[in-house]
A and B are shown apart, each in its own frame.
Chain A
Amino acid sequence: MASFIQLLVSGLATGAIYALIAVGFTLLWQTSQTINFAQGEFVMLPAFFVLAALNAGAPFWVACLIGIALSIVVLGILFKLVVVDPMLKYGVLPLVISTIALSLFLKESAKDFYSSQAQPFPALVPATDIHFLDAVVSTQSLAVLAVAILTVIALNSLLNKTRLGRQMQATAQNPTLARILGIPVQRMVLYTFLLNAVLVAIASILVSPIYLAKFTNGETLGMAAFIAAIIGGFNQVRGAILGGLILGVLDNLSAAYISSQYRGAFPLIILIAVILLRPQGLLGRIEERTV
């Protein structure tokens, strides 16, 4: 029981990070039909922004804010203006290929301009333990989980309880009608890119103490988040959250109780099962778009 609790907490913490990244996938898809295959590299890059700020002498929390700000500019504004806008008019496939090219560019750039070696990254809180029902739960896992949950609550509040959020919802559901109603559709689309940039930056800050900052981190993270988004439902934010959490917990439990050698296969088995039995995802809806 103690082991199970530890695995569950640790899996939820990892899953919450996957969820943040997966939510970004769904946001971009919903508002601009962008399937961003550079999403993993989008999570890799902010860690290097933070490290650069730390090396320049900034305190950790200031460095994190700088990292988020730079992510908004590079991974939000520049990504939309330089990659998405010019390519979107040619359809989904050219855009997908462009994001694959972008992922390679970001990966190689991080390697060349920073280092090919992994870099240590500070944890949010010191490593101490909390004893609960004979289980030893790490405060770092709890901190990751707490930050991820707060981020999701904040996002949910923005989307559902503010005028801006409702305008974004309307843009996602029917951009033509939204435009007729006077909603600045292009600006709403830009906001989703900015939101995605913030989400990946937060995910980067949460995951890098575990993974270490390395240019190859995006490969694993991007794939995990993509699978999470499909499992949960590519057209639902809450589906992406559920998919991320399922993936994180499943990965840990399967590695501990079934086989650590085949841990990578279990998410794919779930993915195949979902595609066969419920192609719209666990919480997704057929032919519907909302954010």
Chain B
Amino acid sequence: MFRSGLLASVIVAGVGVTSPVLAQSTVYIPAILELSGAGAVSGTNFRDGMLLAIDEINAKGGILGRKIDTPLLDTQSDAGISRAQVQKVLDNKPFVILGPVFSGSVLVDMLLTQQAEIPEIVGGEAAAITQKGNPYVFRTSFGQQFSMPKIANYMRDGVKAKTVSVLWVNNDFGKGGRDTFIKEMNARDIKMVADISTESGQADFSADVVKLKGANADAIFVYLNEEESARFLREAKKQGLNKPLIGETTLLGQKVIDLAGEAANGVRGHVGLTVDAPIPAVQEFAANFKKRFNYACDHNGIKGYTAVYFIKHVTEKIGKFDSKAFAEAAHGITISPKDEPGILMEATWDKNGDIDRISFLGEVVNGKQKIVETLPKLGK
């Protein structure tokens, strides 16, 4: 399991030690990610997807003739450390910053990058990230305001639930998702019968499962981070919880399935990004990822991969390494795989930096995520 040879981490061992000669031939795009702590699954997937794209692009000559120089900085899944890391890289005048993934860290960091007028391509999904009028923040996954209506429709039309319990993680990601979900449930006259918060990094879910069993809702919406999702599913299986478990990508992701084992079978939900999408380019990416890193990629890997190609495409469009011009050009842009194959699926970024593209309904069957329906772009 010891993983070595991560090219980008080797390119620059210390932050800011780029020599003048190296600086002219490279473009400095640091990545600030959750490489340890509660967000390690998300951060390392994002990192590896990103590294795959960087190596592909660098092998073909880089962006506008300059190779991508991406030092990796660990937030330790802590918003304070994340902010300090962003402050550190801003001193070296980055072109764009990649990450972090945790919404709480993004919400803290994006104030700094906005002041510095440096675009930040983040993995956070909290609705609040793109609702603060910050023109320098972009994401390569759905925000909760895009995904929750789709889940709510599925609860009403697919599961036909009249009552719902919600189990959520008490951080910016979970709170944002829970608030948006409840709003959507109320709009559809679906009654909430239990509203259970859990802690980030929580290990024991036995009391939560007992409470969910007692609430006896028609369906349970689970909105936790990946590792907590796996622990919850194991406990739910252990206690014989037999209600439909519905979630988002963080419940149906491959890492969750790997960790939860057979306890993940039967879980259903909306997945904005998945390597099991019935799209050849996505499957080819997934195969390359697995070959290189020896584990199955989750949605965060796709976020990282497409983020780098998003940077490449926008930069080549503006024809220069100008951070401000990048941010202006990226709003309203639509990138199609025929113009930029690495983008994998056609995607549009709106005026807030939110992404719109097709998404999927999935179910875990025999330890594998199975896509049962493809949902169109919201803008169509």
Partner-B contacts on A (CB < 8 A): 3, 6-7, 10-11, 14, 111-120, 127, 129, 136, 138, 140-141, 209-212, 214-217, 220, 251-253, 255-256, 260-261, 263-264
Contact assessment for A7 and B206 in the assembled complex, using a CB-CB cutoff below 8 Å: yes
Interface string of B232-246 (1 = CB under 8 A from A): 001101111000000
Q: Are A212 and B238 in contact (CB under 8 A)?
A: no
Task: Please tell me if the beta carbons of B207 and A117 are within 8 angstroms of each other in the complex.
Answer: no
Residues 198-214 of chain B, each 1 if its beta carbon lies under 8 Å from chain A, else 0: 11010110111011011
**B35 partner, pick from A3, A116, A127, beta carbons under 8 A:** A116
Shortest Cβ gap from A184 to chain B (Å): 40
- Docked complex Cα distance between A212 and B231 (Å): 7
Chain B residues, CB < 8 A from A129: 239-240
- B residues near A260, Cβ cutoff 8 Å: 196-198, 207-208, 211
The verdict on B328 contacting chain A, using a C-beta distance below 8 Å, is: no
Closest to B42 in A: A117
Q: Does chain A have a CB within 8 A of B258? A: yes
In the complex, what's the smallest C-beta–C-beta distance from A205 to chain B, in angstroms? 15
Residues of B within 8 A of A118 (CB): 40-41, 227, 230, 259
| A111 CB contacts on chain B under 8 angstroms | 36
**A141 and B213 alpha carbons, distance in the complex (Å):** 17
Instruction: Please report which residues of chain B, range 265-301, place their CB below 8 angstroms from some CB of chain A when the two chains form the complex.
Output: none
Contact B2 A210 (CB under 8 A): no
Give the distance to chain B from A40, nearest Cβ to Cβ, in Å.
12
Note all chain A residues with C-beta closer than 8 A to B44: 116-117
List B contacts of A141 (CB < 8 A): 206, 238
Residues of chain A contacted by B263 (CB below 8 angstroms): 127
Tally of contact residues, B, Cβ under 8 A: 40
A138 touches B238 (CB 8 A): yes
Residues on B with beta carbons closer than 8 Å to the beta carbon of A253: 207
Cβ of A10 and Cβ of B203 under 8 Å apart? no
10 A-B pairs with least C-beta separation: A255-B207, A10-B206, A116-B40, A211-B203, A256-B207, A138-B238, A129-B240, A252-B207, A116-B36, A115-B1
Task: Tell me, in angstroms, the Cα distance from A216 to B230 when the chains sit together.
Answer: 16
Cβ-defined partner of B203 (8 Å) among A114, A127, A210, A256: A210
**Within the assembled complex, what's the spacing in Å between the Cα atoms of A105 and B234?**
30
Instruction: Given A117-B40, A118-B41, verify A127-B207 contact (CB < 8 Å).
Output: no
A121: nearest residue on chain B (CB-CB)? B259
- Asked whether, in the complex, the Cβ of A14 is within 8 Å of the Cβ of B240, the reply is no
Q: In the complex, A129→B199 CA distance in Å?
A: 27
User: Is B58's beta carbon under 8 Å from chain A?
Assistant: no
Complex CA gap A210/B239 in Å reads 12
A7-B210, A115-B1, A255-B208 are known contacts. Are A138 and B239 too (CB-CB below 8 A)? yes
Question: How close is B262's CB to chain A, nearest CB, in angstroms?
Answer: 8
Residues of B with C-beta under 8 A to A117: 40-41, 44, 227, 255
Cα separation A14 to B170 with both chains bound (whole Å): 23
19 pairs, CB–CB < 8 Å, chain A vs chain B? A6-B210, A6-B213, A10-B207, A11-B206, A112-B2, A114-B1, A114-B2, A118-B227, A118-B230, A119-B259, A129-B240, A210-B231, A252-B204, A252-B206, A252-B207, A255-B207, A256-B207, A260-B196, A264-B199
CA distance A138 to B204 in the complex (A): 14
In angstroms, Cα B204 to Cα A253, docked, is: 13
Chain A residues, CB < 8 A from B208? 255, 260
Which of B1, B37, B206: most chain A CB closer than 10 A? Answer: B206
